[in-house]
Amino acid sequence: MHRNAPLTPEGRYRLCLRIEAGWTVAAAAESMNISRQCAHKWWSRYRDEGVEGLEDRSSRPLSCPHQTPARVERRIVALRQSRKLGPARLAGIVEVPASTVHRVLVRHGVNRLRWMDRSTGRVIRRIETSHCGELVHIDVKKLARVPDGGGHRMLGRTSETMARAHRAKGGYTHIHTAIDAYSRLAYSEFAGVENTDNCLGFLARAVDWFASHGITIERILTDNGNGYRSHAWRNRCAELGITHTRTKPYHPAPNGKVERFNRTLLDEWAYARIWKSDASRARTLDRFLHRYNHHRHHTAIGGPPASRVTNLPGHNN
């Protein structure tokens, strides 16, 4: 219904009640500031169908003789999934306008390549949640340590800097992250390699951290790392009343929210500036997380993650 419509379903019902009470159709129409023909239409529907007849009806035509044939649509979708071509190139193959190809792709939900699995061409089913804690994604990101005095990003890839890095045997640091699917609120820490003990320790601290923000974790989604396949992990999740599921091997897309956070972690923190040591970088992780959770505008939710946590302590002060 457009914003200037003179009658709503409730208004139509009042119109019919006036006619039932003895008003003429012309008088009732004038009182509602509509035409006599319009009043007759709603009065006729009310007599034939009752109150249900006063609801809006679909304006969709019963048939569309100019619609693209089903066989052509099937061919367009099949080519899209197998060859990953755009509307302009598909139009040349199936010999229909590119605008028609685009509408077909939209109708079948394959108009964005990022919505499709690149290897199989199948549409990726998005995970939708309705409240905080319903699903939390967990993952571990390996990050090369920064040698004291700076690494190759500061000093360049010279033989001297590479030899110094080799002597330092910096190796990798491991950042464990838990991110709430609904709010995108994230908790990260340096928790060591991805073994059972470290994963269990991180789980306990993540549960407490989310609880301090009024969020109870109901389900966790992880990959198939060693720490998440252990009996100790399974038993601990059961004790906490948390359902644990794992992604299909070599298919990280279902865990995409935390995978995308890892990319943000690299772009906006780990590689956003040149560091002189690993310790100097590590000290700024909490500052970055605060900015991400409370100030950084998240395009998928239209604001910072904290804006979706309705019971966040301090918000109602």
8-47 confidence digits (pLDDT tens) = 888 999 999 999 999 999 999 999 999 999 999 999 999 9
Evaluate if residue 4 carries a pLDDT over 70.
Answer: no
The helix (H) or strand (E) run that includes residue 7 is none
pLDDT value at 312 more than 70: no
What tokens does 257 get?
């929210």
180 CB neighbour count, 10 Å cutoff: 25
Structure tokens at 45: 């529907």
Give pLDDT tens digits for 165-214.
Answer: 555 556 889 999 999 999 999 999 999 999 999 999 999 999 999 999 99
Q: Are 182 and 134 in contact (CB under 8 A)?
A: yes
Cα–Cα distance, 229 to 234 (Å, whole number) = 7
How do residues 68-114 score in pLDDT, each as one tens digit? 999 999 999 999 888 888 899 999 999 999 999 999 999 988 888 76
Q: What is the pTM of this model?
A: 0.62
Do 113 and 123 touch, CB atoms closer than 8 A? no
* Per-residue confidence band for 316, with pLDDT thresholds at 50, 70 and 90: very low
Mean pLDDT across the stretch 114-134? 75
- Model confidence over 202-237: pLDDT tens digits? 999 999 999 999 999 999 999 999 999 999 999 999
What integer pLDDT is reported at residue 162 of this predicted model? 54
Quick check: 158 pLDDT over 80? no
**Average of per-residue pLDDT values in the chain:** 87
User: Strand 243-246's sheet: what is its strand order?
Assistant: 186-190, 172-180, 136-144, 219-222, 243-246
Residue 262: pLDDT above 90? yes
69 DSSP 8-state letter: P
Q: What is the pLDDT of residue 310?
A: 72
pLDDT at 6 over 90: no
Beta strands in the chain (DSSP E): 136-144, 172-180, 186-190, 219-222, 243-246
Q: Is the pLDDT of residue 118 over 70?
A: no
What would the pLDDT profile of 140-150 be if each residue is shown by its tens digit?
999 988 877 65
What percentage of the chain exceeds 70 in pLDDT? 85
Tokens representing 52 are 């249900």
